[in-house]
Amino acid sequence: MDSPFIYNTIVSGTDFIPRNTESDKLYSAIKEHRCAAIYEPPKSGKQSLINHTLEKIKVENWKHRICKVDLFNVRTEEHLFRKCTEELEKTLPLPPGERQPFSTLPEFLREVQRRAESAQTNLILIFDEFHEILRLEDWDTPLRTLEKELEKHQHPNTSVVFCGSFTNAMRVIFDDIKFFYHVCDRIRFSKIDEKSFTDFIIRSFLKAGRVVSKELALHIYRLTNGQPWYTQQLADIAYSLTRGYLTEAIINQAFELLMELHSYRFKYLTARLSNYQISFLKAIIDGVDRFSSLEALTTYNLQSSANVNRIKDALTKKEIIEFSTKTHRINHFLDPLYETWLRTRYFV
């Protein structure tokens, strides 16, 4: 029988673990033609949340079309506008003679609104991997002009969703510089609670004719810190190893296989870090929070406060750790399994 755990594709229906608060916020933003920003680490379930919300809108027969512009490999403004044109033509095509040319994001947004209004529909414009706009040579200009367009003009048929998986890069746009501050709602993911996830694990095993206790389902959840992708992957491996009742020994064996599965990626990531950056990660693992103290500088050979700031900046840009904007202290590792790997495999 196929595994009941799906983690390598967008999930929907009963396979989607509810994020009701997040989905309700996104639903309201779309229906009220506001902007929404979703930026969480990779494999957090961003696309599944968007898909789940759009399915809810579809059921209501709210007339709409979806235009998704993926900025994944965009490096120039020319490429950006070519992608915008291509995706808009797929969504609401017009004969060449009726198309309005555009060379800025505000002009593109006005063309989106014009076509949606003409077609008597609502258009949901999704910018995926939006952080890639920072790779443009003059990235400030398109962001600034788009913000001004959204602030000054009504777009009653258009909803905009900014989505990104490089959380620190997205924070530069939305938190540090505060682009779109007055027009955009941040859809912040909360951790899926223990009960919801363990109930899902138990139901999924039962659906496949296998049994897992509440305590062992909770063990799966805690080993992966409730990260959706890793938790489902661990549950899938454990499922493949059992033929009836799941045991703690099987879960621990599955966890070792999960760690081995990702070890090459973690080794490759760590090999590209400097000695100072590795020492800094060791300090985090050891619970240090005052990295510029004399004791920390000496114990972990961090050299100086200026060097600490350079290390923080490098690890942030590499999307390894996240700092609190308010306190400038470590918030968390963006990949909880990498943190576990460092703690139990690397720093031993």
- Assess if CATH 2.40.50.140 describes domain 273-346: no
Equal fold, 18-186 vs 273-346: no
Mind listing the pLDDT tens digit for each residue in 216-248?
Answer: 999 999 999 999 999 999 999 999 998 888 999
Which residues 6+ apart lie within 8 Å of 206 measured at CB?
A: none
pLDDT at residue 327 tops 90:
no
Q: What is the mean pLDDT of residues 125-129?
A: 98
Q: What is the mean pLDDT of residues 131-142?
A: 96
Mind listing the pLDDT tens digit for each residue in 167-192?
Answer: 999 999 999 999 999 999 999 999 99
**Among the listed ranges 11-20, 242-251, 274-283, 293-302, which one has the minimum average pLDDT value?**
11-20
The position carrying tokens 């965009």 is 74
Per-domain residue ranges for the chain?
18-186, 194-268, 273-346
Mind listing the pLDDT tens digit for each residue in 259-272?
Answer: 999 999 999 999 99
Q: Confidence class of residue 1 from pLDDT cuts 50, 70 and 90?
A: low
Max mean pLDDT among 13-17, 83-87, 95-99 falls in 83-87
Q: What is the mean pLDDT of residues 119-126?
A: 98
Largest Cα separation within the chain, whole Å, is: 70
pLDDT at residue 329 tops 80:
no
Q: What is the mean pLDDT of residues 315-343?
A: 87
Q: What is the mean pLDDT of residues 67-81?
A: 96
Q: Confidence class of residue 97 from pLDDT cuts 50, 70 and 90?
A: confident
Q: For the domain covering 18-186, report its CATH number.
A: 3.40.50.300
Q: Confidence class of residue 40 from pLDDT cuts 50, 70 and 90?
A: very high
Note the pLDDT of residue 324. 72
Note the pLDDT of residue 93. 95
Phi-psi region of 313 (alpha: psi -120 to 50; beta: other; left: phi over 0): alpha
CB 249 within 8 A of CB 242: no
Note the pLDDT of residue 325. 63
Q: What is the mean pLDDT of residues 326-343?
A: 85
The CA–CA distances, whole Å, from 345 to 176, 205, 252, 255, 260 equal: 35, 30, 15, 13, 10
Q: Confidence class of residue 70 from pLDDT cuts 50, 70 and 90?
A: very high
Q: Which two tokens stand for residue 240?
A: 């493949």
Note the pLDDT of residue 41. 96
For residue 53, how many other CB atoms are within 10 A of its CB?
A: 25
Q: Is 290 helix (H, G, I), strand (E, B) or coil?
A: coil
E strands of 139-268, at which residues?
158-164, 184-186
The position carrying tokens 């990779």 is 42
Q: Confidence class of residue 289 from pLDDT cuts 50, 70 and 90?
A: confident
Vertex 183: Cα angle to 180 and 186 (nearest 5): 75
C-alpha closest to that of 52 among 14, 87, 90: 14
pTM: 0.92
The bridge status of strand 330-333 relative to strand 321-323 is antiparallel
Q: Which two tokens stand for residue 348?
A: 């031993």
Cα dihedral sign, 331-333-339-342: negative
Q: For the domain covering 194-268, report its CATH number.
A: 1.10.8.60
Q: Confidence class of residue 326 from pLDDT cuts 50, 70 and 90?
A: low
